Amino acid sequence: MSKPNVLVIGSGGVGAISALSLSHNGGSTVTLVVRSDYDLINEKGFSINSCTYGKLTNWKPHNLARSVSEAREKYGPFDYILLTTKNVPDGPTTCEEIVAPAVTEQNEVIILLQNGIDIEKPMIAKFPGHLVLSGVSHIGSTYYHGHVENKGIDAVFLGDFNPKPACQHRASSASAAAKIEEFISIYHNPGFNRIQVDANVQKTRWEKLMYNSVFNVMTALVDLDVNSMQINGANDDLIRPAMAEIMAIARSVGVECDQGIVEKFVHIGDGLFYSPSMCVDMRKKQLMELEVILGNPIRIAREHSVPTPILGVLYPLLKMVQFRIKQEKKMFVIDQRDFQGSSDDYPRIFEEKYRH
3-state helix, strand, coil in the chain (%, to 5): 45, 15, 35
The yes-or-no verdict on residue 298 having pLDDT over 80 is: yes
Q: CB–CB of 119/112 below 8 Å? A: yes
Span 203-337: which CATH code? Answer: 1.10.1040.10
Helix (H, G, I), strand (E, B) or coil at 75: helix
Q: What percent of the chain has pLDDT over 70?
A: 97
How large is the average pLDDT for residues 169-197?
87
- pLDDT digit string, tens, across residues 39-81: 999 999 999 999 999 999 999 999 999 999 999 999 999 999 9
How large is the average pLDDT for residues 236-241?
98
How large is the average pLDDT for residues 147-170?
79
When the pLDDT of each residue in the chain is averaged and rounded to a whole number, the result is 94
Would you say domain 5-199 falls under CATH 3.40.50.300? no
pLDDT recorded at residue 171 = 46
The b/e string for 22-46 (b: 16+ C-beta within 10 A; e otherwise) is bbbbebbbbbbbbeebbeebeeebb
pLDDT recorded at residue 174 = 73
Q: What percent of the chain has pLDDT over 90?
A: 90
Q: How confident is the model at residue 167 (pLDDT cuts 50, 70, 90)?
A: very low
Q: How confident is the model at residue 140 (pLDDT cuts 50, 70, 90)?
A: confident
Q: How confident is the model at residue 231 (pLDDT cuts 50, 70, 90)?
A: very high
Check residue 79 and report its DSSP letter: S
Q: CB–CB of 195/158 below 8 Å? A: yes
The C-alpha atoms of residue 103 and residue 80 are separated, in whole angstroms, by 10
**Domain coordinates of the chain in residue numbers?**
5-199, 203-337
* Rg for the chain, CA atoms, rounded: 21
Min mean pLDDT across 53-62, 161-170, 230-239 is at 161-170
Q: Tell me the CA distances in angstroms from 232 to 215, 283, 308, one per residue in order.
A: 14, 21, 22
The rounded Cα 97 to chain-centroid distance in angstroms is 15
pLDDT recorded at residue 168 = 47
H or E segment at 138?
A: strand 132-138
Of 248, 123, 137, 290, residue with least CA distance to 201? 137
pLDDT recorded at residue 172 = 56
How large is the average pLDDT for residues 204-217?
96
Residue 72 CB contacts under 8 Å (≥ 6 apart), including other chains:
7, 78, 101, 102, 104
- pLDDT digit string, tens, across residues 254-264: 999 999 999 99
Of 133, 127, 92, 141, residue with least CA distance to 113? 133
The C-alpha atoms of residue 121 and residue 117 are separated, in whole angstroms, by 9
User: Where on the phi/psi map is residue 146: left (φ > 0), alpha (ψ -120 to 50), or beta?
Assistant: left
